[in-house]
Amino acid sequence: MALDTLANVKTRLGISGSADDSLLNLLIDSAEDWIANRCGRDFAGGSFTEYFPGNVEFLLLANFPVTAVATVKVDPAGVFGADTVIASSSYVVHTERGVIQSKVGPFVAVAERAGLVNADRDTWTRSPRAVQVVYSTGTTVPDDVKEAHAQLIGHWYRQVKTQVASSFQNVDEQKFGDVTIRYRLDLLSTLPLPADVERLLMPYRTPAL
C-alpha cells in the first residue's frame, strides 16, 4: 500500500492534467522510500517478521502501532518450528509504540553452568535471531506524513521542471519576446529540503536506542 494516491498528491501540490503522471509516480516511490528510511518504519502497514536476541525482556518492533501479534517464537538455534511458539500470556504487547514486554524475564534464560558463556548453541542467548515475531500494523497513514510526503515530492518535482525548462543546460536567463525568465541553477543544486518535511515527520521517527 502506498502512502498516498497520485490524485491526492496532485491535489496537495496544485497540479492538474496528466502530462507529468509518470514522473510523479516515480517521485512518489522515491519519497516513500526516503520517508521509510528517515523514520525507520513502514507507514503503509501490512505483515512483518522480525528477529531479536534472546537476552532481553523488551522487543522493540520497527513498525507501529501494532494491530495484532500472530506469533512469538523463541529458538536460539534459529529454526523456529511450531513447537517454539510461546504462550501469549507470557508477554504483553504495548500496541501504540510496538513494544513486546516479557512477563517472565529474558526471552531466553541465561544458562547457569560453568565453562564458556553461550558455548552451547541451544542456549546462545545473544544470538541476533533467537526470537522471531510475526505481527501486523494498520494501513491508516497519518495526515502529517501524507503532507510531508507531498511536500518532498513537490520539492523534487520543481527541481526537475526547472531543469527541463532550461533544457538541462547551464542557462541563467532566457527571453521569449518581452518575457524574461531567470534560472537560479546555482541555488537549485544546493536547495535544502523544505523545513516542514522534517518538522512533520519528527513525531513519527523511531527513537534511537
The C-alpha cell at 178 is: 518581452
pLDDT recorded at residue 162? 79
* C-beta of residue 125 within 8 angstroms of C-beta of residue 54: yes
- pTM to 2 decimal places: 0.72
The C-alpha cell at 180 is: 524574461
pLDDT recorded at residue 178? 72
How far, in Å, CA of 171 to CA of 186, rounded?
Answer: 10
Distance of CA 58 to the CA centre of its chain: 21
**pLDDT tens digits in sequence order for the chain, 209 residues long:** 689 999 999 999 999 999 999 999 999 999 999 999 999 999 988 999 999 998 899 999 999 999 999 999 999 888 999 999 999 999 999 999 999 999 999 998 766 555 555 555 555 556 788 999 999 999 889 999 999 999 999 999 988 887 777 665 555 666 666 776 665 555 555 567 889 999 999 998 886 65
Distance of CA 152 to the CA centre of its chain: 15
Nearby residues of 4 by Cβ (< 8 Å), 6 or more positions away? 28, 141, 146, 149, 150
Q: Give the amino acid at 120.
A: D
pLDDT recorded at residue 168? 53
pLDDT recorded at residue 190? 58
How far, in Å, CA of 24 to CA of 17, rounded?
Answer: 12
Selection from 204, 156, 155 nearest residue 38 by Cα: 204
Q: Where are the domains of the chain?
A: 6-43+141-204, 46-137
* C-beta of residue 95 within 8 angstroms of C-beta of residue 136: no
* C-beta of residue 123 within 8 angstroms of C-beta of residue 32: no
How far, in Å, CA of 89 to CA of 59, rounded?
Answer: 16
* C-beta of residue 156 within 8 angstroms of C-beta of residue 31: yes
Nearby residues of 101 by Cβ (< 8 Å), 6 or more positions away? 57, 58, 59, 91, 92, 93, 94
